[in-house]
Amino acid sequence: MVTAAVAVVIAGLLLALVLAVAYDPAPGPADVAFGYELAWDHFDFASLWTLSGDELRDGLGCKDFVAAKRAAYAGRHGLGNLTQHVAVESVDARGTAAVVRTRVDLHDGDVAHNEMYLTKRGGRWVVVDYRLRSDTSPVTP
């Protein structure tokens, strides 16, 4: 038999859990961009699909996207696991649009500067465009 005090404690814990889930913020644009860089480096195509908007999914569902990317990159040794360090250089977020600039330091000493355009859909940020950056001029979302 559950006493009234135990029922109140259980109800309070359930309410706290619901509030924690409801107010837990989704990853921001910087986190998504950072994860996107690492997913490309590790050829983690399932994560790429999840972090991408429809614009970058080649019109494919997750299973077909992963299979197509695996086939495209099969046998291309030396293209993955090149990253030594990823840093977010800047984030310019305005409403539901953001531009994130990253710096990718490679194991061979080279550095890549990338620019990702993100949009917020369904309460989460997704990458909708990815560009190698050749300059340092300011951009806006």
Indicate whether 41 belongs to any domain: yes
Q: Which helix (H) or strand (E) holds 99?
A: strand 97-106
- Residue 100: which CATH number? 3.10.450.50
Indicate whether 20 belongs to any domain: no
pLDDT for the residue numbered 108: 86
- With H, G, I as helix, E, B as strand and everything else as coil, classify residue 45: helix
More confident residue, 53 or 10: 53
Indicate whether 14 belongs to any domain: no
Residue found under tokens 């299973």: 63
Give the distance, in angstroms, between the CA of residue 50 and the centroid of all CA atoms in the same chain: 8
Indicate whether 21 belongs to any domain: no
User: What CA–CA distance (Å, rounded) separates 33 from 102?
Assistant: 8
pLDDT for the residue numbered 122: 92
Indicate whether 141 belongs to any domain: no
Indicate whether 2 belongs to any domain: no
Residue 109 sits in which domain range? 27-132
Indicate whether 13 belongs to any domain: no
Indicate whether 43 belongs to any domain: yes
Q: How many domains is the chain partitioned into structurally? A: 1
pLDDT for the residue numbered 125: 97
More confident residue, 12 or 125: 125
